Amino acid sequence: MAARSKARKRALDILFEADLRDLPTLQLLSERQSVGDVPVQPYAAELVRGVATHSERIDELISWNLVDWTLERMPAVDRNVLRIGVYELLWADGVPDGVAISEAVALAQDLSTDNSAPFVNGVLARIKAEKPTLSLDPEASAFVGDEDEDEGGDPYADEDDDGQSARTREPNSHG
């Protein structure tokens, strides 16, 4: 297994534990770095910090791309694999989009249910497709170009393949 793949797995371990135990992510990372039996590679720590820093926006983007499913109902492994994938897609410089998606899919395939890999792939592919129009600021509106709203235009008017706007799109199904 490549070094970055191992780092992603280690980051997933930390994010998963923090999620399940309802612990502050950065506090758990600090503990794992200082007393953990398994070392935390620098890239794993970068991923955990990045996911923690952008967690609100990451969860918002994932939620917007779910149909008939919620973030809370999703298996914790899938939720945290998606968080890593979204972070790498949108904020990790030097990680090609295809690599971010394929690494997340591989983690889901190895560690979750049979339906998880295609589910993760679908959610990340939709986020990748929206990437050029996304605002990465959690305080801003969802999409870049919101200045159209001031002129009476609807910044959400772009429709997806089934003719639904991003604002009215139903969440995606996990199965």
Tens of pLDDT along 118-154? 999 999 999 999 999 988 876 654 444 444 333 333 3
Tens of pLDDT along 82-110? 999 999 999 999 999 999 999 999 999 99
Paired strand residues for 143: 134
Q: What is the pTM of this model?
A: 0.79
